[in-house]
Structure 1
Amino acid sequence: MTPVPVRLLLCDDHAVVRAGLRALLSSADGIEVVGEAGSGEEALALAAQLRPDVVLMDLQLGDGIDGVKATRKLTARTPAPRVLVLTMFDTDADITRAVEAGATGYLLKAERPEELFAAIRDAATGRTALSAPVADRLLAHLRDPRPALSDREHEILQQLSRGLGNREIARALFISEATVKTHLQRIYGKLGVETRAGAVAVAKERRLLR
């Protein structure tokens, strides 16, 4: 009896990447690409319509919601598809946000085709699939746990790395300067620093910046 193939939905904002993935996956036994999405919003709509077993999700999706937010919305559904992240980004911030959003696995686009095929099949059964560098970073994080930064704190840290002052950050994020100062104090505490320069230096060292 022929096993039922894994129904897969691709989500990447680059049409060429989607075409390449579809062509690559056509050679994989037991995997059927049932649809393609070019944005997080389109992935949510198609997933509701096509009911895939696995969504292969990029993190950076241009305008609209990003891959992490799309993952969070997809995994909150009943029934929920498994979400397997496939991205070029391996920063602590991206990995942590994706896992916390409910991603079953996290792969880098440098993976060999056979590793991707195996990860998709594993994800369909609920097993975790991680690229070796991602697994190493997660283990390092577990050995040296630090309080996680919130999404807003990540946003402020990102603006900080661009050399923006409190007033400029407040304008960019549509919040008050007082709120920026409050978040900065929390960021300093979590990173174990006392200055803006120190926060940026530690963020770069730990690859918290996108």
Structure 2
Amino acid sequence: MIRVVVVDDQPLERTGYALILDSDDEIEVVGEAGNGSEALRVVGQTEPDVLLIDVRMPVMGGIEATRIIAAEHPGTRVIVLTTFNLDEYAFGSLQAGASAFLLKSTTPTALVDAVKTVARGSAVVSPGLTAKLIEHYLQSVPASRSLPENVAKVLGLLTSREVEVLTAIVGGLTNAEISSELRIAQSTVKSYVNSIFAKLGLRDRVHAVILGYEIGLDPGRRG
């Protein structure tokens, strides 16, 4: 069973999410909270697999709570929900450690699928957001953060092949596409990806993209 905690300051919405998730045979809602501060307590008590949390709440918002939970409870994956498709919320939540950013207008089926996907260790982002994320970093990361020494400091932890795989990930390639481009088995690509994430402390591919653009890694220079 995938154990989930639901956090939203609106009782009706919170109950609705819980009912949707509990209706699936693979998911169990083990706790609820009305703000980020309460979420910290409930997560500490229940250690869920997935936390579903609203962005805008009193006392403590979803992004701040996500940052704390990602640091203190790395085994809990976070899905951030919001009514507003604002870049600042999306980027803020992903940088804080969330594995998914979804609009509240998403369908019940998509919500259930998102919970199952992040529980398996993957990331989920609303369509088009990954492209926005890349565009955002291309336009806003200061030139000083793209200095060669910043790249070397991070990439020095990786083998040359792992650097190639990371660069391909930053360029938006799937494991299958990386396998084809580098002419290695998909199982080998998966092993490289897991090694990269472990060495760099990355939670998933979205955060690999964030890191890549923060250090000025150029996905156009593969091979």
Q: Do both share a fold (TM > 0.5)?
A: yes
Q: 1:66 aligns with which of 44, 61, 66?
A: 61
- Distance apart, 1:59 and its partner CA: 0.4
Rate the CA distance shift 1:132–1:93 in 2: closer, same or farther, 3 A: same
* Native 8 Å contact 1:107 1:134 kept in 2: no
Alignment pair present for 1:39 and 2:19? no
Which amino acid letter does the alignment assign opposite residue 85 of structure 1? V
Secondary structure, counterpart of 1:76 in structure 2: helix
**RMSD of aligned Cα (Å):** 1.6
Larger radius of gyration between Structure 1 and Structure 2: 1
Is this contact kept in 1: 2:47–2:73, CA < 8 A? no
Asked whether the equivalents of residues 74 and 80 of structure 1 are also in contact (C-alpha less than 8 Å), the reply is no
Q: 2:6 aligns with which of 7, 10, 16?
A: 10
- Are positions 1:56 and 2:78 aligned together? no
1:53-132 counterparts in 2 under 5 A? 53-62=49-58, 64-132=59-127
1:149-164 equivalences under 5 Å are none
Distance of 2:30 and 2:45 partners within structure 1: 11
SS at match of 1:56: strand
TM-score (norm 2): 0.60
Residues 188-208 of structure 1 deviation map (CA, whole Å, 9 limit, x = unaligned): xxxxxxxxxxxxxxxxxxxxx
Q: Note the residue ranges of structure 1 that are not aligned, 5 or more in a row.
A: 149-210
SS at match of 1:16: helix
3-state SS of the aligned residue for 1:107?
Answer: strand
Paired with 1:130 and 1:79, the residues of 2 have a C-alpha distance of 19
Deviations 1:148-177 (A, max 9, x none): 8xxxxxxxxxxxxxxxxxxxxxxxxxxxxx
Q: Secondary structure at the match of 1:106?
A: strand
3-state secondary structure, aligned to 1:22: helix
Higher-helix-fraction structure: 2
C-alpha distance in 2 between matches for 1:69 and 1:47: 14
Aligned to 1:27: 23
Q: Which residue of 2 aligns with 1:146?
A: 140
Cα shift at 1:133: 4.2
The farther-off stretch of 39-48 and 24-33 is 24-33
- The answer on whether the counterparts of 1:54 and 1:123 sit within 8 Å (CA) in structure 2 is yes
Q: Deviation per CA, 1:110-149: give whole Å up to 9, x if none.
A: 111111111101111220011114334224325x43138x
Q: Secondary structure at the match of 1:95?
A: helix
Provide the secondary structure at the position in 1 that maps to 2:140.
coil
2-side partners of 1:100 and 1:89: how far apart? 17
Which whole-Å CA distance do the structure 2 matches of 1:78 and 1:35 have between them? 16
SS of 1:41's partner is helix
Q: What is the alpha-carbon distance in structure 2 between the residues aligned to residue 129 and residue 40 of structure 1? A: 21
